[in-house]
Amino acid sequence: EILAKSKIIVTGVPTKDYRLPTQHVQPGSMVINISHFKNVDEEELLKVPGVKYVPLVGKVTVAMLERNLLRLVQNFHAKNDTSAGA
């Protein structure tokens, strides 16, 4: 359900067995694979009109995504801790 509403889809599932269900990808979406595995059936995905696909990103990009995710979690908890004490 969420996938069908998304215009930007980032796959990062660390397993060979996962495949992005391309039937739920809407036209004009951007799909980025940050996993070491090919989690996307590229041939099926590119049948969806207007889809832009990034099949692989570098290690530095993955590291920066992980850093930003950690910052997001830390900032979320810091904000909640501050508001709880007020």
Question: Which of these, 37, 54, 36, lies nearest to 45 by C-alpha position?
Answer: 54
- Please give the average per-residue pLDDT across 49-69, as a whole number: 91
Q: What percent of the chain is predicted at pLDDT more than 70?
A: 94
Calculate the alpha carbon distances from 26 to 2, 32, 35, 43, 81 in Å. Answer: 11, 14, 21, 15, 38
pTM: 0.72
* Exposed/middle/buried for residue 28 (C-beta within 10 Å: 0-12, 13-18, 19+): exposed
Q: What percent of the chain has pLDDT over 90?
A: 58
pLDDT at 85 over 60: no
Average pLDDT over residues 61-74: 92
